[in-house]
Amino acid sequence: MNPKTTIIFAALISLIGCVVINVFVWNLWSPAFILNDGVQYLSTAFNWNEGRGLYTNALMFTPHFQGVVPAPQTVWPPGYPLLISLISMLGMPIHQAALITNLVLHFVGAVLMLLIFLRWKIHYLTALLFTAAFYITATPWTYALALMSEPAFNAWILASILLLPNPEKGRLWLWLASGFFIALCVSTRYTGVFYALGVGLGTFIYCLRTDKFNRVGFIRCIGLIALQQSMAVAIFLYLQYRTYSLIGTLERQAGLIEPDSLILTLRKVVWQLHELAGFTQEGLLPFMVNKLLFVIFVLVFLWLLVNVFRINTKTRKETKTNRNGFTRLACYVILGHSAVFALFFTITSMGSNNVDLSHRYLYQIYPGLYILFCASVFKAYRSASVAANLDSFGKWLRRATMALCFLFVAAQINFVSGVDLSKYAGKSTIDALSAQVSENTTLSDFIAACFPDSDKSTRTVGTSVFGKGTLWSNDGQLMHLHTQVPTLTTAQVYANEPFDLAGMAEQIQMYDIKMFIFVNGMMNTEHQFVELMDGLKQFLVMEELATPLPMIGNQVPNTVSVDVLVTDQSCLDY
């Protein structure tokens, strides 16, 4: 077959495969997939469309959400909700706009990955295979389905890497274009600041190594770094100013987590890598088989990594070949980002912090490290194919690569086989809302009767504007998603600090809380959070702040039960 025909055929098959996967995912999707952060993005986008600004109707007990309803959305930057809002203007519901945005950006991220490999001078079909492996990795698909900001964030990272200039040619517009996408990272997630710092650090070290004896060139490089970072710095300063002007503080003391032991921290990191790779407990593979395959996967990966590094080091010394400016700068940038990321989480793990390391954070450095790994493997194979003394060793290299690919595919199949709507957080809320309040009324109907037009701000007290009542729930964000009633909640992480029960009466008055809904038996709920909720229920009843609502069927599927306490007696006359 003609090489050009082969390339076109491979590209066509890949495109058809992407379309099939996206159609399948679109039909599979359910609101039960949406996680709490996704609800915040949807709520903010909806309020923006309604002309209320960057605010949320799903509040948490933290200074970054306190205020009138809707309250300022300052925990996350507004870039992703604004993007959802823009897409929804095409005439689709907010949640569908978010889903299609994530699916498109995940695909765009794969295309950008392919273009990076091609700019790295990797053979087209090999680059396509590397990209396919990146695209079908199951974990990032869960971020897309949960309506999280990861697809957008990682697309901006990959775009900024692709547009990194070749410093030897000095194209100014590439510095600006790359800086624009770095700024988008900061506008999407605060951890984009780590990426901006990593790019700056990597570029500075690159300049230091290449222009240390050239004063003019070094000063010019520093100026280009400043130009590249200027937009990101401006956006970050604006976000800090906005936060301080709205809530009067930049501190986030709520939800501080006490440091774990070193062994426990390392176990947590390993477990999150375990999840990121796809070896999840809920999948097709038995638990012990999962653990064994993950260990083998790690050992094969490390063996391959060490030997690829050894081959490339030996080849570089023997042939004295030099990479072009783009690939060298991209290496420094990717490693700089990884170093800043590792330094931050190492420091925070030693003291009280409100950021718990998870695979969502690990995934932020994954695309860059994946690029370096694939490029190194490609170079090693190309080197091994021309070095006679590596022929026998090359067989083991190929076997290790094939084993790694097999284990990777097995992990993805295992992950996909474990996708079960009943295991997603939103399912508990949907089940809770189906509970019978009376013989003919579900909890969802009861809420609708007690909170007519609750999403419209109609009540004014002093300078504060409120809707027609607010709902409190330990699953508040998802309760807001399915009822559209402004909600308050206490996230599990905030149970790590003493809870102000005495302040609950003030909260009831301030937010016009008409109803408390406790969803019991939610998955992955910490014991101390369950105790906190039980204590809050008892406190509300003992202090006569709320009246328990008798329900015919408060037990619903998935071992979930519901307790409803009403503060507004008129609701009992629904």
Question: Kind and range of the H or E element at 441?
Answer: strand 441-442
Where residue 213 falls among pLDDT bands split at 50, 70, 90? low
Where residue 354 falls among pLDDT bands split at 50, 70, 90? low
| Amino acid 46: pLDDT | 93
pLDDT digits (tens, 9 = 90+) for 121-171: 999 999 999 999 999 999 999 999 999 999 999 999 999 999 998 877 767
Residue 411 has pLDDT above 80, yes or no: yes
CA–centroid distance for 50 within its chain: 26
Distances 102 to 24, 347, 373 between C-alpha atoms, Å: 15, 32, 26
Where residue 256 falls among pLDDT bands split at 50, 70, 90? low
pLDDT digits (tens, 9 = 90+) for 57-113: 998 877 777 777 888 888 889 999 999 999 999 989 999 999 999 999 999 999 999
Residue 462 has pLDDT above 50, yes or no: no
Residue 387 has pLDDT above 60, yes or no: no
| Amino acid 269: pLDDT | 79
Residue among 510, 569, 545, 401 at smallest CA distance from 61:
510
| Of 19-33, 209-223, 349-363, 506-520, the least confident | 349-363
Mean pLDDT over 43-49 rounds to 93
Residue among 150, 32, 29 at smallest CA distance from 522:
32
Give the integer Cα–Cα distance in Å for 30 and 38.
13
| Amino acid 464: pLDDT | 43
> Beta strand 58-60 with 487-489: parallel, antiparallel or unpaired?
parallel
The per-residue pLDDT of the chain, averaged, comes to: 85
Higher pLDDT, 223 or 271: 223
β strands within 179-263, DSSP E = none
Residue 488 has pLDDT above 80, yes or no: yes
| Of 352-366, 458-472, 486-500, the least confident | 458-472
pLDDT digits (tens, 9 = 90+) for 233-250: 999 999 999 998 888 888
Main-chain phi, psi angles of 55, to 5 degrees: -130, 165
Give the integer Cα–Cα distance in Å for 39 and 53.
16
Residue 388 has pLDDT above 60, yes or no: no
Rg, Å, the chain Cα set: 26
Give the integer Cα–Cα distance in Å for 326 and 551.
66
Report field, pTM of the whole predicted structure over 0.85: yes
| Amino acid 393: pLDDT | 66
Structure tokens at 485: 């009633």
